[in-house]
Amino acid sequence: MSMEKANQVTAAAIIKNMEKRNFSGVYCATKEEALQKALSYIEKGSVVSWGGSMSAAEIGLIDAVKNSGQYEAVDRSAAKNYEEQRQIYAKAVLADTYIMSTNAITLEGELINIDGSGNRVGCLSYGPRQVILVVGMNKVVSTVEEGVHRTRSKASCPNTIRLGLKTPCSITGRCGECYGDSSICSHLLITRRCGQKDRIKIILVGEDLGY
pLDDT category, 176, cuts 50, 70, 90? confident
pLDDT at position 174 is 82
pLDDT per position as a tens digit, 28-55: 999 999 999 999 999 999 999 999 899 9
Q: Is 181's pLDDT higher than 90?
A: no
**pLDDT value at 24 more than 90:** yes
Average pLDDT in the 72-89 region?
90
> What is the pLDDT of the chain when averaged over all its residues?
93
pLDDT of residue 163: 81
pLDDT for residue 130 is more than 60: yes
Q: For residue 166, is pLDDT > 80?
A: yes
d(CA 150, CA 130): 26
Q: What is the pLDDT of residue 1?
A: 57
Res. 209: pLDDT tops 80 = yes
Angle made by CA atoms 48, 52, 56, in degrees to the nearest 5:
65
Q: Does the pLDDT of residue 189 top 70, yes or no? A: yes
What are the two backbone dihedrals, phi and then psi, of residue 136, each rounded to the nearest 5 degrees?
-70, 150
Q: How confident is the model at residue 3 (pLDDT cuts 50, 70, 90)?
A: confident
The 3-state DSSP class for residue 50 equals strand
DSSP string, 69-104: SSSEEE-GGG--SHHHHHHHHHHHHT-SEEEE--SE
Q: What is the mean pLDDT of residues 127-131?
A: 98
Pairing between β-strand 130-136 and β-strand 97-100 as defined by DSSP bridges: parallel
Between 1 and 202, the more confident residue is: 202
- The per-residue pLDDT for 180 is 85
Q: Give residue-wise pLDDT tens across range 8-18.
A: 999 999 999 99
Whether the per-residue pLDDT at 66 is higher than 70: the answer is yes
CA 55 from centroid of its chain's CA atoms: 7
Show the CA angle centred on residue 204, arms to residues 202 and 207, nearest 5°.
150
